[in-house]
Chains A and B, each alone.
Chain A
Amino acid sequence: MKARLQTLRRMAWRPLSAADAALNRLYGWRFNPLYQSGALAVVLLAIVSATGLYLIVFYRIGAPWESVERITGQVWAGRWIRGLHRYASDAALVAVGVHALRMFAQGRSWGPRTLAWISGALLTGLVLLCGWTGYVMVWDVQAQMLAVAGARMLDALPLFSMPISRTFVGESPMPGQFFFLNLFLHIAVPVGMGLVLWVHVARVARPTLMPPRRVWLAAILALIGLSLVWPVAMAPRADLLRLPGTVPLDLFYAIWLPPVLAVPGWTGLAMLVAVVTLVLSVPLWTRLRAARRPPASTVDERLCTGCIQCSLDCPYEAITMVARADGRAELLAQVDPARCVSCGICSASCAPMGVGPPGRTGRDQLADVRHLLGETPPARGEIIVLACDRGLGDPATGWDPTGARVRSIPCAGNLHTSVVEQWLRAGAAGVLVLACPPRDCWNREGPVWARERLFHDREAELHRRVDKSRVRLAYAARSEVGIGDVELAGFRANLADLARDEQLDYVDPIRECDPVLEAIE
């Protein structure tokens, strides 16, 4: 069973990876909206809140449908603001769905990430609840169906002595208290969402809550354009003594409505419970078996100099600096295994190579390279490609460029700069580090720190004695074999130029001076 579910996870990854590559071609990885799904959801929900503030001024609980109709009648403001409110909430749910699918497909849903998954699921539930109350506020035929379906499911719970469904029988007009309660929930739930969002990002350092400006501006403008071109129409008013005919259904928030209304209330409730259970149990069935779980980072206390760089770089705030017990003055890095996802980013941040997951510390990486160099040293002019194994470094991608040796590495952020230096000192023409696109790093900040360390002197920086023109960092997603080829070709051309320049500039003192000396003599 678990193996099948893992297969499902891998199956989800393939189309997502292909979609990533397609949108990378259109927008580039910097502005690929699929990479910004979580941050986009935050921005879109902020738009929903802002537009909601306007709408609430004109909403009347005593005459819900009529007040929304009046808002829709405001040609200059209300109509498109209501449209933006609706469409932004729809787009937010799409963004939430993409974000959840990405985390699920990438296996970032268990272990230390369980809290983020569970809180994310709770956030999604709150978004859906907010959508439910928002639609009921309008009190049109869709609201009627949503209210009735919700009441039927609540009635299946053995909690209420009076069936909730009796509220919607049509014997008397809907009481204002109902709309007041609904409005209260519609406002209170987003406030609660802020708290859950804080929990959601509590275990990550430097959470990205804003996508690049170009992305969020484009999203807002597109949704405003949609609101103007295709404003949200008023559906017929709810009439509890008539069965709704054709209902304008929001497929994002109310897709569950047709199947739930087709079955008894308890079956609908059972379906809901099943979906919730399935989502909440994802951390259980996506986690690796204990034997296959990557171990948490450890600290070699003898080597730790207390420089705090690893605690600064850790994307999961898993490393804290504590006082030492051995009498030395410096602080000591301490890893919290409950937070460590074994990304190995700390390995590359430590100049003395004293921290990292067992087998992947800087020292382990150097030992591996030395061993490899002993067996197969780089050929003259050979380029070494160090590629992330979740990207083009995965042998399953079939990427095998000619004239270059591809070495798979766990993450660009895990790559110690000494390894790059070692390859160059051994005679490699150049080292191309091929990382995943920064917004799609499974370890959040690997490519960012790799760039800083290779080119901007961040600890543990690439040593000054290394010719940095022989090092390149490029980004390519798993499906972007073409990008890998292009980057490699460009790097090869650069190295060729470099070699030509060196030939022109190089002055051999012996060759140049000997004839002169001979002439003098």
Chain B
Amino acid sequence: MSPAARRALGASFAALATLGIGAASQAPWTATPEDQALLRLSWRAQSETTEECRPLTEKEKAELPIHMRVPEVCESRAVPYLLRVTIDGTALLADTVHGAGAREDRPIYVFREIGLPPGHHTIDVEFLPIGIRDRRGKDTHRADDRDDEKDEDEKNEDEDGEDDEGRALPLRYSETIPIGEREVVLVAYDSARRALVRVD
């Protein structure tokens, strides 16, 4: 190969390699097909707590200094929540959500994404505390019979969206909406309305 031919070949190779870098630097990639949409649930909620109290036994009282002899001791516990998502009548998700932290007493963070085809959909989202007990230790909510107690909850709800004891109430969202191609429907918690709402 003559030096001129080698030089030309070398320059051509360098040009091709450089163009290759340019092409690979911005290669078109279809990240999401047109027939996809997404339901995104994202909110933060203060975990519900239950408190179980019992009176101190005489023996326990005797072991305590006089100034610490309270009539009863109470143990509080953060309750988990049930997150249930139903799309067009089909249950797609039923997860138990716990509070953050080792003792699960930190706020609950909900973040779920569910793929959907574009079109009209009826979306039902429920976020319900599981196994709430009142101060007497009686169940107020259970994961499997929440619907039965829904009416009672609503009766107890005051204008601030809290029940008589100041606890956050179960959250629900239900709506039939059109969802476009590659659209993300975000359902979040509106602290002003104390409700799950769609964010546009």
Contact = CB atoms under 8 A, between A and B. Distances in A.
Contacts of B32: 243-245
Contacts of A242: 182-184
Nearest to B1: A25
Contact of B27 (A162, A218, A249): A249
A248 B31 CA distance: 10
Interface in A146-167: 155, 161-163, 165-166
B127 to A, nearest CB: 15
A241 B200 CA distance: 8
B22 A241 contact: no
Interface residues of A, number: 45
B9 interface: yes
Interface stretch (B36-44, B60-68, B73-81): B36-44
Interface stretch (A105-113, A191-199, A224-232, A321-329): A224-232
A185 interface: no
By secondary structure, the B interface counts as mixed
A251 B27 contact: yes
A162 B21 contact: no
Interface string B158-200: 0000000000000000000000001110101000000000011
B28 A27 contact: no
Contact of A162 (B1, B14, B44): B44
B21 A94 contact: yes
B15 A222 contact: yes
A480 interface: no
Contact of B19 (A26, A90, A230): A230
A249 B31 CA distance: 9
Contact of B111 (A27, A169, A248): A169
A245 B184 contact: no
A267 to B, nearest CB: 15
A376 interface: no
A217 to B, nearest CB: 12
A300 B44 CA distance: 74
B100 A170 contact: no
A130 B96 CA distance: 38
Nearest to B200: A241
Interface in B104-118: 106-107, 109, 111
Interface string A78-93: 0000000011001100
Interface of B: 1, 6, 9-10, 13-15, 18-19, 21-22, 24-32, 34, 36-38, 40, 42, 44, 100-101, 106-107, 109, 111, 182-184, 186, 188, 199-200
Interface of A: 23, 25-27, 86-87, 90-91, 94, 141, 145, 155, 161-163, 165-166, 169-171, 218, 222-223, 225-226, 229-230, 232-233, 240-252, 257-258, 261
4 pairs of A and B residues whose beta carbons are closest in the complex: A161-B100, A243-B32, A248-B26, A249-B29
